């Protein structure tokens, strides 16, 4: 059997373009199609700074002959097309939010409109390989958002241990690239330089997926309070999480739970002291620091929002699903943005 043929939908956004760069150098798959409605008929390298991809962008992917479709489109665009991709026999990996939430009734609340294919939500799998979240047999792999990935990796082992109460406060900070290439005037350098901006305080759309995943992993309802902040850097996410001890401090026992969860992972690292976001930049690595403060366990997770939070995580999920080397194709450091 030859190398699986892969198509990328939404290949000119920040995450999509980064994904194209990674797949071009992947030793075990072939990147054969790229699409972009706004840049159709141009070569990818003409549309995206730093790209080495000569493939011509099309308005839509032709699923014929594709074994894998990875979508990096705007929210709910992949869901409208996924039926045709699946019918052709392709595995679907979605970087956006189209299949993260199990309940179709949640989409009007968090995404402003009805889900275009609610029947597909039943077979979608929210996927984090380190936590055995998802299924190797699934046809739709839904990748958690950048904040959600950090918060879930940061807190799942503690919540599963029952050493903390089933409630977490997530205090997120992210770089500006998380807003994408189409961001408006509020994201101009002159607006954001020398400023930190909290946003979506009444509720951010990553909050329900964090809550859903943590409740599933800990097998009991988990309450999540989440406030994100925009900080003046291009890439990176820092997520301090605060959990109250159940029955008294047990830091060393919690450390053991994290070591069991991540000790064999090539991408999640337990560190002795907090690290800057720059350490994770342009990688698939997540750094987790554990400490205690009074009645609380404090867990900090640092990752790259476009790396482990999007494109690089998609390659990791692809490798996991197809039984490939976990690190295959995860090595090139993209230079844009």
The sign of the CA dihedral 289, 293, 295, 296 is negative
Token digits of residue 64? 């014929």
Of residues 53, 146, 238, 241, which has the active-site annotation? 146
Alpha carbon distance 121, 131 (integer Å): 21
Token digits of residue 229? 């902040």
Torsion-angle region of residue 134: left (phi > 0), alpha (psi -120 to 50) or beta? Answer: left
Greatest CA span in the chain, whole angstroms? Answer: 62
Is 241 annotated in the active site? Answer: no
Q: Which residues are catalytic?
A: 146
């Amino acid at each position: 059997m030859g190398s699986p043929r892969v198509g990328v939908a939404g290949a000119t956004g920040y995450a999509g373009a980064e994904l194209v760069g990674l797949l071009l150098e992947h030793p075990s798959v072939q990147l054969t199609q790229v699409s972009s409605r706004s840049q159709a008929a141009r070569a990818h390298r003409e549309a995206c700074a730093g790209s080495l991809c000569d493939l011509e962008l099309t308005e839509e992917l032709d699923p014929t002959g594709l074994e894998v479709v990875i979508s990096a489109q705007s929210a709910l665009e992949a869901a409208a097309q996924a039926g045709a991709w699946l019918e052709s026999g392709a595995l679907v990996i979605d970087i956006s939010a189209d299949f993260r939430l199990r309940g179709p009734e949640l989409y009007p609340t968090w995404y402003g409109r009805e889900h275009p294919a609610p029947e597909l939500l039943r077979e979608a799998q929210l996927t984090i390989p380190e936590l055995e979240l998802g299924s190797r047999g699934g046809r739709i792999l839904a990748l958690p958002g950048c904040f959600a990935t950090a918060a879930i990796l940061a807190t799942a082992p503690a919540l599963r241990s029952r050493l903390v109460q089933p409630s977490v406060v997530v205090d997120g900070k992210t770089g500006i690239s998380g807003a994408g290439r189409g961001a408006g005037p509020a994201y101009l350098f002159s607006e954001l330089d020398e400023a930190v901006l909290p946003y979506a305080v009444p509720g951010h759309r990553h909050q329900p997926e964090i809550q859903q995943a943590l409740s599933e992993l800990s097998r009991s309802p988990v309450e999540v309070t989440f406030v994100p902040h925009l900080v003046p850097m291009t890439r990176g996410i820092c997520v301090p999480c605060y959990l109250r001890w159940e029955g008294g401090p047990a830091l060393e026992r919690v450390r053991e739970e994290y070591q069991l969860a991540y000790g064999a992972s090539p991408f999640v690292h337990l560190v002795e002291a907090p690290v800057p976001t720059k350490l994770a930049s342009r990688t698939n690595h997540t750094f987790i620091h554990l400490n205690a403060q009074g009645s609380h366990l404090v867990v900090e997770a640092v990752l790259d929002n476009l790396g482990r939070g999007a494109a690089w995580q998609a390659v990791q999920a692809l490798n996991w699903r197809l039984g490939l080397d976990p690190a295959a194709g995860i090595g090139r450091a993209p230079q844009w943005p």
